[in-house]
Amino acid sequence: MNRNKIVFLTGTRADFGKVKSLIEIVQQSHLFDIHIFATGMHMDKKYGLTVREIEKCGYKNIFKYINHDSGSLMDITLSRTIEGFANYIHLIQPDLIVVHGDRVEALAGATVGALNNILVAHIEGGEVSGTVDELIRHAVSKLSHTHFVANEEAKARLVQMGERRESVFVIGSPDMDAMKSDTLPSIADVKKYYEIPFDEYAISMFHPVTTEFNKMDKYAEEYINALEESNCNYVVIYPNNDSGSDFILSRVLRLQGKERFRIFPSVRFEAFLSMMENAQFIVGNSSAGIREAPFYGVPTVNIGTRQNGRTKNENIIHTGYTKTEILQGIKKALQLQVERISLFGDGKSDEMFLDIVSKDLFWNTSKQKIFTDVLSYDANMV
Residues 6+ away with beta carbon under 8 Å from 367? 117, 118, 119, 145
Q: What's 187-335's CATH class? A: alpha beta
User: Within a 13 Å sphere around the CA of 354, how many CA atoms are in the beta-carbon half?
Assistant: 17
- CA 269 – CA 155 distance, rounded (Å): 26
Mean pLDDT within 268-282: 95
**pLDDT by residue (tens digit) across 33-60?**
999 999 999 999 988 899 999 999 999 9
Q: Identify how many contiguous H helices and E strands the chain contains and give both numbers.
A: 15, 13
User: Within a 13 Å sphere around the CA of 163, how many CA atoms are in the beta-carbon half?
Assistant: 29
Mean pLDDT within 150-164: 95
Higher pLDDT, residue 48 or 147: 147
What's the pLDDT score for residue 354? Answer: 98
Give the Cβ contact number of residue 3 at 10 Å: 12
Domains 4-179+346-381 and 187-335 fall in the same CATH topology? yes
What's the pLDDT score for residue 361? Answer: 95
What's the pLDDT score for residue 345? Answer: 72
Q: Are 294 and 277 in contact (CB under 8 A)?
A: no
Residue 377: pLDDT band with limits 50, 70, 90: low
In our burial notation (b when 16+ CB lie closer than 10 A, e otherwise), range 126-151 reads bbbbbbbbbebbbebbbbbbbbbbbb
- CA 368 – CA 377 distance, rounded (Å): 22
Q: Which 3 state secondary structure label does DSSP give 96? A: strand
What letter represents residue 110's amino acid? A
What is the enclosing helix (H) or strand (E) of 335? helix 323-335
Lowest mean pLDDT: which of 110-119, 329-338, 349-358?
329-338
List own/partner pairs for 216-221 with CB under 8 A and 24 or more apart.
Answer: 216/244, 216/247, 216/248, 217/247, 218/321, 219/247, 219/304, 219/321, 220/247, 220/248, 220/250, 220/251, 221/251
Q: What's 4-179+346-381's CATH class? A: alpha beta
Give the Cβ contact number of residue 41 at 10 Å: 28
**pLDDT by residue (tens digit) across 287-308?**
899 888 988 999 999 999 888 7
What's the pLDDT score for residue 381? Answer: 47
- CA 81 – CA 93 distance, rounded (Å): 17
Mean pLDDT within 377-382: 52
Higher pLDDT, residue 346 or 29: 29
What is the enclosing helix (H) or strand (E) of 362? helix 360-363
What's the pLDDT score for residue 302? Answer: 95
- DSSP letter string, 217-278: HHHHHHHHHHHHHHT--EEEE---SSTTHHHHHHHHHTTTT-TTEEEES---HHHHHHHHHT
Domain ranges (residues) in the chain: 4-179+346-381, 187-335
Total length of the chain: 382
What's the pLDDT score for residue 58? Answer: 93
Q: Which 3 state secondary structure label does DSSP give 7? A: strand
Q: Are 103 and 136 in contact (CB under 8 A)?
A: yes
**pLDDT by residue (tens digit) across 302-328?**
999 888 766 667 789 999 999 999 999
